């Protein structure tokens, strides 16, 4: 048997690599492309509201109008602050797969999470959100010195603002590096010079809506020359690609041996974040270091060997479907 693939339309259109659909088709895999529908994965326990939309128990409600095509069904409408809301009909899914099927989900984080919430596929998405947090993997490294941000402090955004001098002092520098603990890219990690602190903090608050309680990693700044992405599947580094050079996007096939060797060390680590994931390695201050780990299901392939990736993922997906492998088996 072969796994089936569920692909995010947006991810395909914005990718830096060859169209995965062409590769899947050439290799004889069944695939389906679906568009992400925002908010349709709202929590069943948490109402969520926008200007004219309310989500209650995962269902979308809109203001009722006599001129609307929507009907007001007794016992289904709700009154909020004196305004009547009616539920929108559930969207008709076009996904041709059934719960229990062997399906691999690939797309944006929001898309993968949504599909995992709505369907019971095996393996579904390789998206271990907690394990992709900095605190989700950094404490479990057999060789923590391989991490680019080995010397670091975790704190809240508010604490950084309130005690900025403390953080510059402990790293004995006038420029620090911060990034969110979350692997969901709340904001992109960035260096902050002490002279630019206020303006950078204001930008993060206004443009990225970074809240006071957001957990962040603070470290010293480093010079990163090259950056590579490697894919690790079932403890094996299967392919890799350069994606940055001197902090500029520069995608090309191949990788340095020293970066590959560090990825191999990650694959040997006793603890593993998932059966399949991406490991980004950079040449940091002249030495190969792990920059971060990312989920397989939401990581771009760049110039990696896509047929190799698909074959490896299909192999572990079918093994998981048959009960021959699981993350607990590591």
Residue 141 lies in a domain: no
The strand pair at 215-220 and 190-193 is best described as unpaired
| 3-state DSSP assignment of residue 88 | coil
- Residue 201 backbone dihedrals phi, psi, to 5 degrees: -65, -45
For residue 188 the two structure tokens come to 């992109």
Range of the domain at 301: 224-329
Same domain, 165 and 194: yes
Average pLDDT on 218-224 reads 95
Rounded-to-integer distance, Cα 235 and Cα 274, Å: 9
What is residue 90's predicted lDDT score, i.e. its pLDDT? 58
Asked whether residue 135 is domain-assigned, the answer is no
Where is average pLDDT lowest: 15-24, 103-112, 113-122?
A: 15-24
Alpha helices in 121-208 (DSSP H): 134-137, 157-162, 164-170, 197-207
pLDDT at 287: 97
Mean pLDDT of 81-87: 76
In a domain, 216, yes or no: yes
Residue 312 lies in a domain: yes
Cα 216–chain centre separation: 16
Same domain, 214 and 229: no
- Angstrom distance (rounded) from CA 164 to CA 174: 11
- Domain-located, residue 136: no
Q: Are residues 34 and 107 in the same domain?
A: yes
Residues 19 and 108 in one domain: yes
Q: How many domains does the chain have?
A: 4
> Does residue 153 sit in the same domain as residue 208?
yes
Interatomic CA distance for residues 190 and 175, integer angstroms: 10
For residues 260 and 282, give the distance between their C-alpha atoms in angstroms, rounded to a whole number: 10
In a shared domain, residues 265 and 322: yes
Residue 133 lies in a domain: no
- The residue out of 195, 220, 245 marking a domain boundary is 220
Task: Please name which of 52, 8, 16 lies closest in space to residue 249, comparing C-alpha atoms.
Answer: 16
Query: Are residues 229 and 255 both part of a single domain?
Result: yes
| DSSP label of 142 | S
Residues 278 and 292 in one domain: yes
Residue 30 has pLDDT above 70, yes or no: yes
82, 110: one domain? no
- For 309, the enclosing helix (H) or strand (E) is helix 306-321
The answer to the question of residue 249 being in a domain is yes
117 and 8 belong to one structural domain: yes
Give the pLDDT of residue 88. Answer: 66
pLDDT in the model for residue 65? 64
Residue 254's DSSP bridge partners are 241
- Residue 36 has a pLDDT of 86
Dist CA 281 CA 293 (whole Å): 9
Listed residues 166, 200, 220: the one ending a domain? 220
Share of the chain above pLDDT 90, in %: 75
**CATH number for the domain harbouring residue 195:** 3.30.1490
The reply to whether 235 and 294 lie within a common domain is yes
Name the average pLDDT for the chain: 88
**Beta carbons within 8 Å of 140's beta carbon, 6+ residues apart:** 269, 270, 271
**Residue 72: pLDDT band with limits 50, 70, 90:** very low
Report yes or no on 29 lying in a domain: yes
Asked whether the beta carbons of 255 and 240 are under 8 A apart, the reply is yes
Does residue 177 share a domain with residue 241? Answer: no
Residue 76: both structure tokens together: 């289904």
């Amino acid at each position: 048997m072969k796994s089936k693939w569920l692909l995010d339309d947006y991810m395909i259109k914005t990718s830096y690599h060859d169209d995965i659909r062409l590769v899947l088709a050439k290799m004889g895999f069944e695939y389906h492309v679906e568009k992400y529908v925002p908010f349709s994965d709202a929590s069943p326990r948490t109402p969520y509201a926008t200007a004219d939309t309310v989500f209650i128990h995962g269902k979308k409600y809109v203001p009722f109008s006599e001129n609307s095509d929507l009907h007001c069904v007794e016992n289904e409408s709700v009154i909020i602050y004196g305004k009547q809301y009616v539920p929108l009909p559930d969207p008709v899914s076009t996904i041709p797969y059934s719960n229990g099927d062997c399906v691999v989900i690939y797309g944006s984080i929001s898309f993968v999470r949504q599909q995992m919430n709505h369907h019971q596929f095996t393996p579904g998405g390789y998206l271990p959100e907690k394990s992709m947090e900095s605190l989700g993997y950094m404490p479990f490294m057999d060789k923590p010195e391989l991490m680019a941000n080995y010397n670091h402090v975790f704190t809240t955004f508010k604490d950084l603002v309130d005690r900025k001098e403390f953080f510059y002092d402990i790293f004995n520098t006038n420029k620090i590096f911060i990034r969110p603990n979350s692997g969901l890219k709340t904001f992109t990690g960035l260096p902050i010079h002490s002279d630019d602190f206020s303006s950078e903090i204001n930008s993060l608050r206004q443009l990225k809506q970074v809240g006071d309680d957001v957990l962040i990693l603070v470290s010293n700044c480093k010079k990163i020359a090259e950056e590579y992405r490697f894919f690790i599947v079932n403890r094996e580094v299967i392919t890799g690609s350069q994606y940055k050079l001197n902090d500029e996007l520069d995608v090309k096939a191949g990788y340095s041996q020293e970066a590959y060797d560090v990825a191999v060390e990650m694959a040997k680590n006793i603890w593993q974040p998932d059966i399949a994931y991406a490991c980004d390695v950079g040449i940091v201050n002249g030495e190969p270091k792990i920059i971060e780990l990312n989920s397989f299901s939401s990581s771009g392939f760049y110039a990696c060997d896509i047929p190799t990736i698909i074959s490896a993922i299909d192999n572990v997906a079918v093994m998981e479907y048959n009960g021959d492998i699981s993350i607990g088996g590591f």
